[in-house]
Structures are given as C-alpha cells and as structure tokens.
Chains A and B, each alone.
Chain A
C-alpha cells in the first residue's frame, strides 16, 4: 500500500531540523535500523540546506519535502523554486562548491549519494531544482 506525506515550509535554515524530524518520523513506518534512520536524516538535511542557501540564497521561498512509501521503498523529493543549477554535473562533483566563502564543504551531493540508493537532480536555471532520492529499507535485516 502506498503512503504519502507532502509538506512545504519556509526556506529558513532553522527548518532543517524540522525537515529531518518529519522525514525521520515518516521512516518509522519502515521499522528502520538506527543506521537507516541516520542515513535519511543526513541526506534530507543536505538537500534542504541546498534548497535554502543555494536555491533561494537565503531569500524567502518555499521548500517542498515529499515522502512516499511503497512497500520497502522510500522516495524523498526536495523541491525549490529558486535560481536553479547551471551545471548539475559540476555541482555534484565532490568538494566542488559555488560558495567557498561560506565555508561550504562541497560534500552535500556526495553525502546524499553515499547514504541513499539513488539521487536524481533536475534543475532549470531561474525555475528551481528538484532532488529525488530513493532508499530501500531492510537490506541488512
């Protein structure tokens, strides 16, 4: 049975903790391991941070966080209608950051890729970015 939770919130860094909490709570439906829960929390945090500071550049906006459960598969979608990414391949490169002055480590996408099974990025300059991440639960159980 499919189960979905669709949320949207203001693009403020203080909502990162809220987004992680919502995602973690939704993941309880999978009866997750501590590690699986931590993976999702971290990946969601990275995607939401990107939306807030890169997508909107700290301007007002709305970030969407959708969570879908289909059997043991979780699909997380983080959406913004911000400035978009010009070169997705470059943005995904480990340690690349467009904001070195802000001490961003450039590891956001690498972390998402390490902690989720798949990460898909769709972006259009001036229109926004959608990151879709999937994870199958119970692999190690």
Chain B
C-alpha cells in the first residue's frame, strides 16, 4: 500500500494506492495520524481511485480518522472509489458521514 499525503488550507488529502487490509492498515493509520497531529487540519479527504482491494479493515481506518477530525469540528470526504471498494464503503454507511468539500 502506498500513501500520498497533501496538506493545503487545513485539508489533508490522502491518496491511497494498492491493497488495504488488516496488514497494510497499520502503516496507513500511523502515517495518517502523524499528519493529523497538526491541529490546523480540519478536513480529511480520501482519494480511493487507486485502491485495488479493500476489506473491512479499511472501514476501521476511515472511521478512526473521521473520529479525529470530527472531534475538532472538522469533516471528511471520500471519493473516486472503484466498484469493488465502493460496495464495501456503501455497506458500512461511511458515506453518510462524508460531505462534499463545498459543504464544509
């Protein structure tokens, strides 16, 4: 799993690439939490475009990071998920927590 992070105007964009399972989740969680250690980050956006596989461990990662940003009054976005990833995201209900950038 490769993770590309970009921070701009209080928005942390995380571009994930590869397979997100219980094994890779540990590394993703660590890197995201380091970036979220900056209190000026008020929104996290997950770009799922290059995620080739994700199971429920990925849902745990997303929910955990949502808890961090919402705890400081922030928000979350999730976009570009391929079909197989989209199905598990929908099942979990995480989309109900996500908002468009303009709704911030």
Q: Which A residues contact B (CB, under 8 angstroms)? A: 13-14, 16-17, 20, 34-35, 38, 41-42, 45-46, 49, 52-53, 102-108, 110-111, 114
Chain A residues contacting B61 (CB-CB under 8 Å) are 103
- Would you mind naming 21 contact pairs between A and B with Cβ atoms under 8 Å apart? A16-B23, A17-B19, A20-B21, A35-B84, A38-B84, A42-B53, A49-B21, A49-B55, A52-B22, A53-B22, A102-B60, A103-B25, A103-B60, A103-B61, A104-B57, A107-B56, A107-B92, A108-B56, A110-B56, A111-B88, A111-B91
B10 interfacial by beta-carbon distance below 8 Å: no
Q: Is the Cβ of B56 less than 8 Å from the Cβ of A17? A: no
- Tell me whether A103 and B63 are in contact in the complex, defined as CB-CB below 8 angstroms, given that A42-B88, A45-B55 are known contacts: yes
Chain B residues contacting A104 (CB-CB under 8 Å) are 56-57, 60
Which residue of chain B has its CB nearest to the CB of A24? Answer: B53
How many Å lie between the Cα of A38 and that of B51 in the bound state? 13
- Tell me whether A110 and B21 are in contact in the complex, defined as CB-CB below 8 angstroms, given that A49-B55, A105-B60, A105-B63 are known contacts: no
Secondary structure at the A interface, as helix, strand, loop or mixed, is helix
Beyond the given A16-B22, A107-B92, could you list 15 further A-B residue pairs with CB under 8 A, ordered by the A residue number? A13-B21, A13-B22, A42-B55, A45-B21, A45-B55, A49-B22, A102-B60, A103-B25, A103-B61, A105-B56, A105-B60, A105-B92, A111-B55, A111-B88, A114-B91
Contact of A17 among B21, B26, B59, B83 (CB under 8 A): B21
Contacts between chains A and B (CB distance < 8 A), count: 64
Interface size class of B (residues with CB under 8 A): 20 to 34
How many Å lie between the Cα of A110 and that of B88 in the bound state? 10
